[in-house]
Structure 1
């Protein structure tokens, strides 16, 4: 079989480290679930179906070193999230079978241009301009589910040693099984896909030089410094 000839050499796939292994996990698509924790402004709202948007895999980076301060924003904010790594593809996955499709978990930051997002919401526009930029999704090494099980602890985030976000994974409005099932009803999931599962209250501004430390019990921790404004 002849190999295809490309117009230019394609990039290598984006990958994440696997905890305790020399292997790396090849990243496919990145689905991001919105409004999956109760925030003060959502108290009392009915349980509505989860919404999701996407980041390209090129936003994913190892959660080490520096967080570049993105362009075209004055309100750069942090969001700590549980990340689901899908190990087997499928469509219309029943909730009771969904956990079998999980390969592992990571801790990730859904970094956001909040001012850009606010304007998009006001005008009924997509969120991608707020969510997609270089380094917008730092993630820890993926922990195989065979090692971690399905996490039940807390996720948290500190900036310069001061706690800003903390909540229990049990507070998620939509469970891991429900999110996998719902997304697979809209689009067939593939091995390598990641699902960022939403962030608890406490999202706030980041400034150049800030040190972010964050983690999820039983999954992983990260520490990164925010770079200078471009």
Structure 2
């Protein structure tokens, strides 16, 4: 039996609707600028005829379940929400043809990609990696996984409110690259594995939150999500 110098962390996981088993999370991939209106507000328009999707990752240890309270993170003055539909993968896939993408889909969830926007933009302008802006502790918030094996979701309202006021409102059919295209492209770079999550991108009107804010959101026909922004660590 392998002995470790210290106790390794437990496997990050999410509840599965209707099951007692949990969904073990392997990796978290995120698609950048996958709604035209959001790309425009970030001053980086996308031309699908010339561009292809791009990705960043979040550590599985950043995963938080819906309903949590997370501390306002350190070293930022501009902490943003991004509401997203999440795809859960349950079978291996490498160089998956778009028409076969459904075969590795286990289900879907509602997710929040919480972001230190000021640090992300500083990194972007300097041509540096986005890790300090995106791979933030407690920043990959996710609802329960809803089993929908073999199904491709290509439409459905997606929305987010802060303190009861609507901030984001769009439809999954506005994705620049849809679920089939994302899986096909991402699987050219990675051997997708059971337990991988894909955050598919956020609509327009991302914005800042402050301690005490209550975030709620939903993806129609899939799930709802909630998050409370707590006080910064070390403060009362």
TM-score by length of 1: 0.94
Match of 2:217 in 1: 214
| More displaced stretch, 192-201 vs 45-54 | 45-54
**Structure 2 unaligned residues grouped into runs of 5+:** none
Pair 1:96–1:151, CA change in 2 (3 A): closer
Aligned equivalents of 1:36, 1:138: Cα separation in 2: 19
Equivalent of 2:94 in 77, 91, 94: 91
Aligned equivalents of 1:74, 1:155: Cα separation in 2: 27
Number of residue pairs matched by the alignment: 228
1:3-52, CA deviations, whole angstroms, 9 ceiling, x for partnerless residues? Answer: 33323222220000001111100000100100100124469742110000
- CA contact 1:151–1:219 (8 Å) conserved in 2: no
Equivalent of 2:189 in 186, 189, 192: 186
Q: Report the secondary structure of 1:165's partner residue.
A: strand
Match of 1:46 in 2: 47
| More displaced stretch, 40-49 vs 7-16 | 40-49
Correspondence 1:63-212 to 2 at 5 A = 63-146=66-149, 150=153, 152-212=155-215
Match of 2:3 in 1: 5
Aligned equivalents of 1:207, 1:86: Cα separation in 2: 33
**Structure 1 unaligned residues grouped into runs of 5+:** none
Pair 1:121–1:214, CA change in 2 (3 A): same
Root-mean-square deviation (CA, aligned residues, Å) is 1.7
- CA contact 1:151–1:217 (8 Å) conserved in 2: no
- Runs of 4+ more than 6 Å apart: none
